[in-house]
Structures are given as C-alpha cells and as structure tokens.
Amino acid sequence: MMKQLTATILLCMLLGGCGFQSGMNKQMDEDSSSKTIRLSDRHEGNNSNMPEADTNRAGYVRYQRQQVTDQKEKTPALNREHLAHVITSLAVQLPNIKDAATLVTDEDALIVYRTGNKNRDESADQVKKTAVSVLPRYYHVYVSDNPEHFQSIANFSRLQTNSRDFDQILTKTIQQMKYSPQGGDISNQEDANGMTNSDRTMRRNAPYGQN
C-alpha cells in the first residue's frame, strides 16, 4: 500500500503537480479571455509579407469593459476624411451620378453631386441612402444637385470644426442645400435628413441651432 501511494505521488510530481497544473490551466484561460482578441492576431505569421490580405478577411475585435474604461485601449475617433472618401466613392458609382463631393462634420454629412437624371428626387434619395448606409446612425444627411454648392462645402476644408463661425456658416449652407430635393423620409420617426423631433429641439437650443 505504501509503495502504491509513493508511486502515485511521484507520478504527480513528474507531471508538474496534478492540482497545480489544473489551476494553472484555468488561470491561463482566464488571462487569455481578458486580452484584446483580433482575427489578425491568429494569422500574423502568415501575412507579414501580404499587406493586401487584410482587405480579404473579416474584421473581428473583442474587448472587455475594463479595457476601455481604464484607458489602456482608447475608443478610436471617427476618421471624417475617410468617411467622406467612402461616401463620395460610392456616390459616383450610382446611376446617373457624374460627380460628387462630401463634407463630414461631427454630426452632419453634406453631399453635392451632378446628375443627368431628370428625376431629381430619385437621385437625391439614392445619394442620401448611400451616405446613411456608411455613417453612424446619429448623423444627419443633406444633399444637393446644385453645382454652386461644390464650392460651398469645399470652403469648410480650410476651417476647424471648433472655429468661432463654423456652426453658423454650416447652418446657412445646410439651409441653402435644402432647396434641392432631399428624397423621402428615412423612417417613420425621421425626416428626409434623419432629423427627429428631439433633434430639432436640441438644435433650436444650441447657440447656432438650425430649425
């Protein structure tokens, strides 16, 4: 009996400790689950010389709340220029859209385009829905097929969004653009530009809020 017990103890020691090893495995699982997991992390060795492969894979990231709240991982800000690039690129691929330009601010997107479509409302709706499909849901979208507005929105590229007159000039530009067709309502609760009743109230109370 003593020999059997001794053999069992030696076997556990050789395997690194039965209970200890089990505990270590559990701890390793917990540690790995608390780390940021990206799909690309699993393929780093295979893609080091293939930068184009990133565009052919799905994107996947997992965070735990603490990783964001402790500021180790900062929530990324929206890249407005990238959003403007995507919207404009998609817009010029729409039927009858020959030219397009997009301005993206902190909560508004202004798109100006040229169209050969005699149905101006149809083109307005197509351009607007393209932008809505790309932007975060809280954005409001304004469109215009008036070529004069190309310069109007281009002028904003020289301004900072925190400039003293930025909001006032933006509001005036939006009001001018709304003389062009805006397409149909986005939803039962939102008008053609994505504005809700609460949005209008908030903007009326803002320093340069638009109606």
Residue pair 39/58 in contact (Cβ under 8 Å)? The answer is yes
Average pLDDT over residues 129-138: 94
Amino acid at 28: M
Residue 178: per-residue pLDDT? 96
Amino acid at 120: R
What proportion of the chain, given as a percentage, has pLDDT over 90?
45
Tens-place pLDDT, residues 172-201: 999 999 999 999 999 988 999 998 888 777
Report strand pairing: 37-38 vs 108-115: unpaired
Q: How far apart are CA 85 and CA 107, in angstroms?
A: 16
Tens-place pLDDT, residues 52-106: 556 678 778 777 777 766 655 555 678 899 999 999 999 999 999 999 999 999 8
Domains of the chain: 80-205 (3.30.300)
Query: Residue 117 corresponds to which tokens in the numbers above?
Result: 């479509």
Beginning with the edge strand found earlier in the chain, give each strand of the sheet holding 108-115 in spatial order: 97-104, 108-115, 140-144
How many Cβ atoms sit within 10 Å of the Cβ of residue 37?
13
Residue 161: per-residue pLDDT? 79
Average pLDDT over residues 33-47: 48
Report residue 9's pLDDT band, with 50, 70 and 90 as the boundaries: low
